Structure 1
Amino acid sequence: MTDPEMMSIGVFAELVGLTASALRFYDDAGLLRPEQVDPSTGYRFYSRSQVPRACRLRQLREIGMPLPAIGEFFAADTDEAARLLDDHVTGMTTEAERLRRAAETLAASLRAESRRVICTVRGPVLAGAVDQVSA
């Protein structure tokens, strides 16, 4: 490493709240390329100017934005990026509602199974049984 301003992948990862493997993955995906790569070792080095993008990338992944949408987000102007963010949140909200309804249906089916009729007893037989127990 020739530039003292450059950070190793481990130092940068800790600074931005990502793992080194995540940074390698984002490099391979073209979302966050290192500032420098040592040609002899392949070691990746990052600059302080890359911190905001890395933090934004982490935040976008935390809200479940898929990688292709993140690429669009970074390529967009501010208004378009805000629209992409709103669209993602709307989609996540819709999906959460769908999952909630599916879970309610599943829970209702479990409750219905727990009330399954095991046997039936005619009234006079039940009354006789109750009399025997209460006597």
Structure 2
Amino acid sequence: MKQPKEILKTYFETGDKPTEQQFCDLIDSYHHLDSGTIVTSVVSDAQGNQNLNFSDGTVVTITKPTDHISQNNKIRIVDLGTITAAELSIEASLVNAVNRLNPPLVVADDENIIFEFDVRRFGEGDGEGDGPIFT
């Protein structure tokens, strides 16, 4: 199970012999390049936008939602636009990062929040907007 760096360091102090479980903890605590891209930090800017920094240097900005609700009672929180197969791992990381925001995204009981995604994979549709759409 992953552990904080401070705990991992105690496994390797002078004279200590780490156990098999402690080595497993060390391995589980670090991200392997073959596992794909991970979020390295989430930073809020002065305008209230969230900037997600990924391990490959990519930065994705989630703009602060507007303070109004449209006439059909929808608030657009995240507009990921058109996603290609090459971007899916980054977008999956983005969704995970949004789910782990601290402080978390809070929605009141009387709010009707809709996340809209326009997802197109290579080879599906003709590129003219007829790919699969998930809302």
Max Rg structure: 1
Q: TM-score if structure 1 supplies the norm length?
A: 0.22
Greater helix fraction, Structure 1 or Structure 2: 1
Greater strand fraction, Structure 1 or Structure 2: 2
